[in-house]
Structure 1
């Protein structure tokens, strides 16, 4: 007396129609006619045994539904999940929800009964779930006699919980959480495992958020309000056993300086939410700031809660503008750390006084211009123009990332390089000639665009082209250049290739030689002028950048 995913799909098709062609079903389910006819017999048997006067029957090649009392939707809503045969991917999906939404460990038998599965199937599913959790840097922890529980970053666990609630539930009247589809068996199973968190008083959270809106004299977007309500619900559920700590919160001083932080403290006390510690309030503040810090046509969840979405877009733009690969986890985290306070400053017209944009433009004009272009997506997201000082601030951030890349990047003279142009001659030969003249290069392969599309790039370290090429999934730098390699092109290529003529003379070495024979007092202006003349990047990194932004101020706060 079991139904599976395909059986339910067939029945749900008849919620809005009375008949269906057999060939439609074969296309929908990717099954042969004989298999579909067998399924119809099984569905009719289950309907009859469940006491419903509903029947599916074939007339020629047309499947008809007889449902005089219009009770099909009632049957689907009331069908017991223990009589549903979950497939593997469905079971893993439900198990993920179960482990995220529990404050205790689960024993195997507790899960086997709900999902109608055996021990060997459960072990196999948990192995798949373990791999899925590992991608989020989460893991299973085993407690003797109690079972398995999930361990890892509290921020990650809460983010995944918010994602799952948004996936399966909708918020009615701004505070009631109801299933989006109560005829879906996965949703029904998920609801079973969500019963503890659903028992929390969401109306109390709703009232607290409305009080906050009144205190701030600002209106949150509908999506922002909904996500914030779910976040506070998840926090209330988790904080008793798994409270946030200092390591879960970044930009602490910035958040504490926001007026909203004080208002949240007041609102939480008035609402009687005594379980929230200081770090819960800080994280609450971070979420709240995002609800009105962006252009409403953009998703608050994707671009504030999951700030890495916006950070990755910015980094991609920076790489395209500069031709410099800066992608790494640490830099992405730094950009995220920079973005939230920056968005708050920009939306609230707070001037960034940490840097002088004129000095940054004077010293790093190319990088400043590239950063300015890369911030267009952020301007669209905010619906507001970004001022010069804010651009300069990120330019200095980027400069530091570039210098870190330079330290780690090996400029071997035997790099395998591909030069791509439309036809493989003319333009590409000009580029190859200029590369041979300026840089210590040995292995340059010239390719027409069509051949490049199918070329094996496994051993290629650098791609240079006059065309707009899509970024390779192998993370190979792609540098767009003009045929004659202008000054900006050479600046890009200098990050990856060694010049035949030395690219720099170290000021430090010059001073060592001078002081070997006579004492010369170190003069900052003299050192700066020498560095500019010698193009000493190491001196620039250690001195000039820090001069623009003192080290103690070089934070996103």
Structure 2
């Protein structure tokens, strides 16, 4: 029997019967295939028990044996008997890859042949495809003649490969459910998911559905490796960086609860591995640390400017886009440093729906990622695309709400924001929350919900409409129909504003009261103006670039021997003005030593900063122009002549100035002044004439 047939037999033993139609849906095969499987099961039972033990009636298969005969089926012996379990070639290759990822020593072709009861030639044929799979994913599969085959990887990498293998196998229709069951049949995965869900609620760190499943798989793997004596204290985990306190605390509680309920002693380093999953795949963002990631902010701002310029759309004022992009890029950088992967199930749909935007982002990313600061694959890139698509949709929104709506998406904020943007464009709705599927019951208990709008299959007594992540005309019609059935008036956003204006003009034609009309128009404007996304906040909240770069913080033609002294020279200016202490300068140098010359942001320009705000007294920026350019080790953008240093005490006050600097560095006019100025005042004059004015002066 193959694995599907084995699990069908287990279901028969446990439940007494199975429905052919339900089984066909579960395993994503036709009913004819299920009937063939039942024939194989019936033959197996007949061979073992010497009588017919299976009856099919009204499309339901019934097991007709007693408890003693169930013991005679020897199901436990079947679990690892690959002679009895005739697995397919594809199933066998997945299992071989699983063995290789798991193994701590070399394995031979003969070992695999013996284990799976096939010839050496069959295993050799399997390895042709296995090598292709590994090569595509940059997995170092090593074959030593006469010694064996192994995967040359660290514990951290093995965990990533095992997770990737599970993700790949569960994407195959024929293995959707039972490959996972086959590997973790002795582990109560539902208990793991319950522990993670409780921790999510307690700490307010919400995982997407994919990340939730990925973390559950990771924990199950750790339990299995511990039970197989393949896991121990590792020094690798100590090299991980940027683990925020809250995810670490949440991870600690999860691991300790796993140890308690499963009666294990997972090592303390397991906490770090779980925290990495939480930090890299959740919607968590520590606001206190945003300002310290200056390069991420610069990259996000530069990307927004670049995309907006090409599309001829002003996206710089959309704070929601900036915040969302910074959050995603921080997580992306985090994943890149820690060899983590993320999967976007909407990738193909997004690329097809937004080909122009995808092309623009691809060109920008390809031109900039050579610096080695962040690496993007198509999954990461299409998550970035989601943020931009949602921002573009938001531009035409005029939100008014009536029904209470809960949006359910499997991939988290990026997808849900896109759905919400489209919904608010066409309807007056009150979006109470956006959630991943596994948190549905929590939000149904927290908010009054009239309608659920979901991008994933859903079973709920609450009225719901299934839509595409990118809303179609059919989706909009289905939403209108459902809202109408629920008794809500269908109000179009644009029609609503037009109607209010028409009423105002009717009143004016009767009263001819100019002052009343002005007051009413002002009230209407206050209701619909898009102020929630504006970067222009209250006076003094943001620093203008001219407030940071002054004649006191700019020095020209400084002579230094190397990049470290260049950073010290730039930092010294801020230290002397009591913006920072020497600790911040040392931390900035240490960041380059640890992560490489990622601070070289464009040709000839470095933006020095530390990865935390230790030693920062107040927000400031300095600039030194070097007499002789120095090498930072960045092949694309060396040598560096201009060294800016940025220090921030909060997450927002510097963003307008940083945005202006990013735009200026793209202008030839500014770069010419930067190169040729004989005194700081020439540079300051240009900045004051061209910067964003947030002071209203």
What TM-score results when the alignment is normalised by the length of structure 1? 0.42
